A and B are shown apart, each in its own frame.
Chain A
Amino acid sequence: MDQLLFNSDYPYILSTLIFLPLAGALILLFVQNEFFARYWALGVTTLTAILSIPLLTNFDTNSAKFQFVQQCSWVKSLNIQYVIGVDGISILLVMLTTLIMPLCVLASWSYIKTRVQTFMICLLIMETSMLGVFVALDFVLFYILWEAMLIPMYLLIGIWGGPRKIYASIKFFLYTLAGSIMLLVGIIWLYKTNNYSFFIPDMMWKNYSLTSQVYIFLAFFLAFAIKVPMFPFHTWLPAAHVEAPTAGSVILASVLLKMGTYGFLRFALPITPEATTIFMPYVLWLSVAGIIYGGFTALAQNDMKKLIAYSSVGHMGFVTLGIFVMNIEGVEGAILQMINHGVTTGALFLCVGMIYERTHSRELRSATGVGKYMPIYVTFLTFFSLSSFGFPGTNSFVGEFLILAGAFKYSTPLALAAIPGAVLAAAYMLRMLQKIVWGGTDNPDQSWLTDLNVREIVTLTPFLFFVFWIGLGPQPFINLMHTSVVNLLDQFHAHQGQVVTAAELIFH
């Protein structure tokens, strides 16, 4: 238990964050009033966001241990515990989730017109399970929340989605579930090997045999790579993103995708360090493939949501690249980029949603030349687009710079191979921006469009704030994660030393 740090000032803070939205959802079950449902969901998510602030102010940045821990037994006969805590890797993701949810509610204010209560219930349950996944320190707790999340997300896409919602929602569900089935078997195997305990910190940095590590890693990889999604497993993402309602897209892009990369950092690296070392080169090149592939496909899209969805594949490729180069710049850049992607892509989906609410089309062609009539809107859009391709001074620049620095440290050819991705990002984002702001000579008549209203400006402003904060002063964010990342990498390299010889024996 030496990995845990109990905080006596806030003993129940994480549980409160997890269960507050759930309680809110339960109360909504008995409400028939749509207006109340909107305000109630906004209130609950805002309250959760406010309550999560003490996490930041009381977080001990000098400790790599899990903080704000709460622990109690859950299912005794199987030794399943209810144990939760945050460390430097998860705290930013928790904050991202709590802060983004009220904005999702705001974004659905007028977008969702049917079955509002059910929608808000789904959003609140999503928040519960997402927060739970990031703070769970018991593998069964983690798995339960990881899977349970599929139900509300499935309903979000399947009920309020676009024309091909059925196809998209089922594909999303099947892909993610089929991917994590072997994770379950891996979890049970680890449980058996670790003296019948599901406690995650105890599973880390053990000397499992290389063969079993390889199998466990493959199980992890399948589950997490689908969630990220990495290059050959990405096909569910464009479908789901395109069909989901705006709030669904935002949650999917900002939080759900991060669970895959979070899974790599939390489980794959510490539990199977030796197998990670062996598979590292392959994963790195898959990431590069994802970056280039995402870039080229995004360039060819005429559907705005699809364009951003494919750009996500590219951005997440950068994140996995950063994680698997295994040096301090890479991993810190990757974590920062996870947040950046959440902020920027989330905001871009919101922007597309706002256009969609007006024109009821996601086609780039029908949204051309709105700059003249929606000046505030295009201002926001410009900043987010610049941020998306890593313009200096915005958040993604810091993240991508760190990742590429880490990649160059690891191997120059690899880093050079990833560079075109950054160029492509500029190409497709500028193409979209140019079309939306100015368009050509054959623009449709956009004069009837109204500019953003106060609610929409309020929704977008926090995103813009973080774009510049992380872009201009990233140090506070990096400080939060630094100790944990250093600790992770130190342990990893200590283990790696023992294996290199073994790996060489296998592959030569």
Chain B
Amino acid sequence: MQFLPELTLLGASLIIFMVSLGKPDSNKMKTIAICLGSAIFVATIVSFNEKGILFYNSYKVDLYSQVFKSLIAGSFLIVLILGQKLKSIKSTVHPEYYLFMFVSVLGLMMLVSSVELLAIFIALELSSFAVYIMVPMRDEGGSYRFQMEAGIKYLLFGVTATGFMLFGMSYMFGLTGSTQLNVVMVKLSEMYTQPAAIIAIMMVLAGFFYKLALFPFHFWVPDVYEGASNETTAFIASVPKLAAVALLIRLISMVNAEGQTIVTILMVCAVLSMFYGNLSALVQTDIKRMLGFSGIAHAGFVLLGLLTFQLSGYANSIYYIIGYVVMNLACFLVICSISKNGENLLISDLSGLHKRAPILAVTMAIALFALAGIPPFVGFMGKFMLLTGALKQGYLLLVILAAINTAIAIFYYLSVVRITFCSDPEKSTSITSGFFTNATSLLLVFIIVIMGVVPQKFIDFASLAVQSIK
């Protein structure tokens, strides 16, 4: 039972592999994938309260990991639903595409449970390599091939980040003589003044900075977001970020707060991420690129909770990343539904959406207002809690800089809302969104509002999960 979600995933991947041997039509494939995705989600819910340690102390199943597994499964299911048509993937490779997606999710699920350096490494690579292949699987009819460029970029930056991480792990092993996370961190805590320890920790964190797209490991974001198909981007922008935050919290929660150097470095990364992301997003015309840059800025906000080194701060970060994933998925749901043949969307393509597809327009507007941090949505509550937590620790300057960033960010979100709502359609192409899509978008909107209006339950739960790490 403890390993049920992973086993289900593995089984699902095998089923898809079997199916891929035949010649399934894409409609049938879609149904199979969504059913399997739901089964995985159910499996994570069933094994929610499991606890235990597996595989020679390298794999820990606790409330924390189970919460994240169900979040990953849930957002994965939504990605499957919103990208159900896989418009820009050649229909002959649909089974393979799904196969890699499932394998990647398997890696991510293993990642949140790993408590040993090598297990972390393997899980991370498993999830990354599958995505490296998914990115260039886009079919653009031969007219342009920037999906190849995106794939190569993603691979090269990913490998570099992994290189950093492995190097850091070797330092950790050299300094402490163990690869067990709890042993490593306890021993490292005793030698915080030593540069070697700081370098080791920062390098290991770098691997997750890459997944979360934090400055200075953000370079892949805009091109990969643009080059990958809409569905792949939706996946990259949401699911791996959950796992990255999970692991970052696991690592950082074991660092004790005396590591002032690390706090300073994290602060600098947070502030630079916010400014870089928001300022670059201001001038984007491609909506996926804009969301990519905004993602960098949001990652900076997540860091704001981590660098408080308080349980409440970690809980706020979890709350925020959940909110971010929901808001982001809502945006991508709209993007995938509007894009006719899976082509990239310019912001101007959204013009007059309120007439063409009212429900999608409302979803988009609410998601963007929430991303911008306007109350009463989840984005505001998350930012507010993160700022409060940081100010409690006395980081006044950091809070002011973060607040200024909120003001900058408004502009580009607002200009998208403006085009969706305040302009009349140039092209009268109507958009048909199925019942399934509409229901999902309303569900996402509902979550965005509920999490923003009554955050207490969510925060309590996040704190409970964080406490189970120790």
The chain A residues found within 8 Å of chain B, CB to CB, are: 74-78, 115, 140, 143-145, 147-148, 150-151, 154-155, 158-159, 165-166, 169-170, 173-174, 177-178, 181-182, 184-185, 188-189, 191-192
Contacts and interface: CB of A to CB of B under 8 A. Distances in A.
Given A144-B375, A144-B376, A77 B312 contact: yes
B193 to A, nearest CB: 30
B456 interface: yes
B378 to A, nearest CB: 12
B208 interface: no
A143 B384 CA distance: 11
B422 A181 contact: no
Interface in B282-301: none
B388 interface: yes
Given A140-B384, A148-B374, A177 B369 contact: no
Contacts of B456: 74-77
A169 B410 CA distance: 13
B381 to A, nearest CB: 8
Given A169-B418, A185-B400, A151 B391 contact: no
Given A158-B422, A165-B422, A177-B410, 18 more contacts: A75-B456, A77-B456, A144-B375, A148-B375, A151-B374, A166-B423, A170-B414, A174-B411, A177-B374, A177-B407, A181-B403, A184-B403, A185-B387, A185-B396, A185-B399, A185-B403, A188-B399, A192-B391
A244 B378 CA distance: 29
Contacts of A170: 411, 414-415, 418
B235 interface: no
B385 A181 contact: no
B374 A188 contact: no
B75 interface: no
Interface string B34-63: 000000000000000000000000000000
A158 B421 CA distance: 8
Tell me if A's interface is mostly helix, strand, loop or mixed: helix
Contacts of B421: 155, 158-159
Contacts of A191: 388
Contacts of A166: 418, 422-423
A181 B404 contact: yes
B380 interface: yes
Interface string B410-427: 110011011001110000
Among A145, A147, A181, A191, max chain B CB count under 10 A is at A181
A173 B400 contact: no
B459 interface: yes
A74 B452 CA distance: 12
B356 to A, nearest CB: 14
B216 interface: no
Contacts of A181: 403-404, 406-407
B470 interface: no
B364 to A, nearest CB: 14
A-B interface, 6 closest residue pairs, ranked by CB to CB distance from nearest: A144-B375, A158-B422, A178-B407, A181-B403, A181-B407, A188-B391
A154 B463 CA distance: 37
11 contacts: A75-B459, A78-B388, A145-B375, A151-B374, A158-B418, A165-B422, A166-B422, A166-B423, A177-B407, A181-B403, A191-B388
B387 A147 contact: no
B380 A147 contact: yes
Given A170-B415, A174-B411, A181-B406, A75 B455 contact: yes
A173 B369 CA distance: 12
B380 A144 contact: yes
A470 to B, nearest CB: 35
Contacts of A192: 391-392
Given A77-B312, A158-B421, A150 B411 contact: no
A377 B469 CA distance: 73
A178 B414 CA distance: 13
Contacts of B369: 151
Nearest to A155: B421
Given A170-B415, A188-B388, A150 B374 contact: yes
Contact of A184 (B384, B455, B459): B384
B385 A189 contact: no
Contacts of A178: 407, 410
Nearest to A191: B388
B460 interface: yes
B264 to A, nearest CB: 21
Interface in B321-347: none
A115 B421 CA distance: 11
A495 to B, nearest CB: 25
Nearest to B459: A77
Interface string B356-391: 000000000000010000111000100011011001
Contacts of A185: 387, 391, 396, 399-400, 403
Contacts of B418: 158, 166, 169-170
A182 B374 contact: no
Contacts of B374: 147-148, 150-151, 177
A72 B81 CA distance: 40
A137 B406 CA distance: 25
A163 to B, nearest CB: 12
Contacts of A145: 375
A165 B423 CA distance: 10
Nearest to A173: B414
A29 to B, nearest CB: 9
Contacts of B404: 181
Nearest to A182: B403
Contacts of A77: 312, 456, 459-460, 463
